[in-house]
Amino acid sequence: MRIIDLSDTLQNDKSWAPWWARNSVTYQDHKFGRFAIWLLFGITPKYLRNKLGWANDVIKLSTHGTTHMDAPWHYAPTSGGKPAKTIDQVPLEWCYGDGVVLDLRHKEEGSAITVEDVKLALEKIHYQLKPFDIVLIQIGNDRRLGTPEYFTHGCGVSAEATHWLIDQGIKVMGIDSWGWDVPLPVQAKQAKATGRQDVFWAAHFVGIDKEYCQLERLVNLEQLPPYGFKVAAFPLKVKNGSAGPSRVVAIIES
pLDDT reported for residue 180: 98
> Which residues make Cβ contacts (< 8 Å) with residue 126, sequence separation at least 6?
none
Show the beta-strand stretches assigned E in 163-248: 172-175, 213-216, 227-232, 243-245
Name the class of domain 68-252: alpha beta
pLDDT reported for residue 145: 97
Where, residue-wise, is CATH 3.50.30.50 in the chain? 68-252
pLDDT reported for residue 254: 78
pLDDT digits (tens, 9 = 90+) for 167-192: 999 999 999 999 999 999 999 999 99
What 3-state class would DSSP assign to 57?
Answer: strand
Mean pLDDT for the stretch of residues 122-146: 98
Evaluate if residue 129 carries a pLDDT over 90: yes
pLDDT reported for residue 224: 98
Going by pLDDT thresholds of 50, 70 and 90, the confidence category of residue 28 is: very high
**Distance of alpha carbon 28 from its chain centroid, rounded?**
28
pLDDT reported for residue 186: 97
pLDDT digits (tens, 9 = 90+) for 84-127: 999 999 999 999 999 999 999 999 999 999 999 999 999 999 99
CA 132, CA 243: separation in Å to the nearest integer?
19
Average pLDDT over all residues of the chain: 97
pLDDT reported for residue 146: 96
pLDDT digits (tens, 9 = 90+) for 196-252: 999 999 999 999 999 999 999 999 999 999 999 999 999 999 999 999 999 999 999
CA 210, CA 207: separation in Å to the nearest integer?
5
